[in-house]
Structure 1
Amino acid sequence: MMSLFSKSITLGKELRIEAEEFTQLRDYIYDKSGIYIADNRKYLLENRLANRLKNLNLKNFGEYYYYLQYDPGRQQELNKLFEAVTTNETSFYRNPPQIKVFQEKVLTDLLASIAAKGPKVLRIWSAGCSTGEEPYTLGIILHEVLKGEIGQWNIRITANDLSEAVLLSARRGVYTEYSLRTTPREIVSRYFTPEGGKFKIVPEVKQLVSFGQINLSDKTQCKRLERSHAVFCRNVIIYFDDDVKKRVMGSFYDNLLPGGYLLIGHSESLHNITRAFKPIHHPGAIIYRKET
């Protein structure tokens, strides 16, 4: 193992990762998270992990790999690693056409169906919730649709992510103007409180959302979650190879109640991954449904 430590090359101030080190770290990340980093993205590990090596006072990527396996602080560092290799680019009301379809068609139909059958219980899973913009958007939409009747419902939005750092931010519920760049102004005024130049989500929305860490590639962890009427997993499966995508979609299918809905990113597709869901075409969006 020590022989690996000499293989990283420093060119100027930039640390380079050698092929063997890249393979070891790439395979380690895949094993722990299901995230696959292709051979042509070696630069991603170099760029995103350079600060981790600096902070830990490590000389090269071989030492970092050793640290991840054997150091007493390896579990805390694993969270830092997840944070470094994932991109948390998001906003409230992201992809407005899809959100509009969910609010005006999918959610309306879902609420009517639940109310007609019995207890007014609604469960939504935001899988890969990042810093909380998506689940809080869903909470806002529920307030907008149900209005004064929301108190008659038992609602829980379960929001999960791989990174503890983004979950910490999500639980705070405080956002910059940039996070609200795609949010209607009247929504901002109704559901956010100005706070030191930022915007804090109101308690009525915050109380609908429960945050927790999860590895979507781990079917055992996914099975522990309460079953859902709708699953949101947008701009997440792009990190996975086909095997993990199929495993994750299987978990979503098992989690969804009959007739439940799956929403993925507008640039993502289930083509060649699964045919378990029925695609429903709407203007500007495709929504997938688990048939009854």
Structure 2
Amino acid sequence: MSKLFSDRGFSGSIKITPKEFSQLRDIIYDLSGIFLQDNRKFLVENRFAPRLSELQINSYTDYINFLKYDPKGKIEEFNLLTELITTNETSFFRDNPQLKAFRDYTLRELIDLGNKTGRREIKIWSAGCSSGEEPYTLSIIIHEMLKNDLSKWRIRITANDISNNVLEMAKKGIYTKYSLRTTPEEFISKYFVEKDNEIFEIKPEIKRLVTFGKINLNQDRSVNLVPKSHVVFCRNVIIYFDKEMKKKVLTGFYNNLVKEGHLYVGHSESLHLITDGFKAKQHVGTISYRKI
């Protein structure tokens, strides 16, 4: 759940002009699909100033030229740019009403159907997985639901993010107590190994269901490579896209989902007036969507 950067951090001394902001915003949009509103100018200065200092670049015009024309800037800096424009704030078992709806409605239906037909397969896509808390949470829920029957099933959770840094953290599966602040205590003792100084490592059996990889939701080629899914989770991501980008991303999810597949977006996000390809389902305290 990589999110748009916050205002924490370095207070920049290099100011960005309206023209430079517009040019940099266009580069960021073309790269990631994230659209920076005009009121994000100070935040750009706040987050990018340390990088400009590190590169010994004295203006945003020079930085933009570096991104556009320098071979190193085009490759290495574009990767770093995704780290500068996103921040990752999440936890295990975040937004419990949604997870309860997933467990009691979506997952229960998929399990019942699989047992009935003999096709015991569940594929889930966590699009915008951040440092791994969401896909690992889904893996824990699946373990709790299937218990000893898990070995009879083919389960795959594909977890993607645009940030290399958070993906490396996710693969390691090591977290602080703060990441577990919304996790039931019985699950902490059952599915985590406590290390020194309140550091916790997710157990191998939970990791085993999850495959991590980098993705840019603005690139059709990458999205099309994701295996067909029964469920897509993309929470607290599309809120940072403009309407056209939202349509593009939701079309990608629609095409990825199997017939009557399920979609979960953030509790503050809505598909209203963006797409008519999904039907909303009301649950206690939340909404899920189903491919029509």
Report TM bin, short chain.
over 0.9
1:278 maps to a residue whose letter is K
Give the deviation of 1:117 after TM superposition.
2.3
- Structure 2 equivalent of residue 138 of structure 1: 138
Task: Tell me how far 1:13 sits from its aligned partner.
Answer: 6.1
Kindly provide the CA deviation profile for residues 218-276 of structure 1, in whole angstroms up to 9, marking residues without a partner as x. Answer: 22211111100000000000110000000000000000001210000001101111111
Tell me which residue corresponds to 2:49: 50
* Structure 2 gaps, min length 5: 1-10
In structure 2, what residue type is equivalent to 1:131?
S
Q: Distance in 1 between matches of 2:236 and 2:185?
A: 25
Matched, 1:40 2:39: yes
* Number of residue-to-residue matches in the alignment: 280
Q: How does the TM-score come out when normalised to structure 1?
A: 0.93
Q: How many Å separate the matches in 1 of 2:72 and 2:168?
A: 19
Q: Distance in 1 between matches of 2:266 and 2:204?
A: 28
**Consecutive unaligned residues in structure 1, runs of 5 or more:** 1-11
Q: CA deviation at 1:51?
A: 1.6
* Residue 226 of structure 1 pairs with residue 232 of structure 2: no
Which residue in 1 is equivalent to 2:99?
99
Structure 1 stretches of at least 4 aligned residues deviating more than 6 Å after TM superposition: none
SS of 1:14 mapped into structure 2: coil
2:196 equivalent in structure 1? 196
Q: Quick check: 2:12–2:45 contact (8 Å CA) kept in 1?
A: no
Query: Residue by residue, what CA displacement relative to the aligned partner does 1:101-152 show, whole Å, maximum 9, x if unpaired?
Result: 1112221111211232232111000000011100000011110100111111
Tell me the distance in 2 between the aligned counterparts of 1:48 and 1:129. Answer: 22
41-50 or 279-288: bigger deviation: 41-50
Residue 160 of structure 1 aligns with which residue? Answer: 160
RMSD across aligned C-alpha pairs, in angstroms? 1.3
Tell me what 1:185 maps to: 185
Flag the 1:13–1:211 CA change in 2: closer, same or farther, 3 A: closer
Q: Which has the higher contact order (CA 8 A, sep 6+)?
A: 2
Distance 1:115 1:33 in 2: 40
5 Å-filtered alignment, 1:260-275, equals 260-275=261-276
For 1:88-110, what per-residue CA distance to the aligned partner results, in whole angstroms no more than 9, with x for missing partners? 11110010111111112221111
Residues 58-107 of structure 1 show CA distances to partners (whole Å, capped at 9, x for unaligned) of 11211211221233332222122111111211110010111111112221
| Secondary structure in structure 2 of the residue aligned to 1:53 | helix
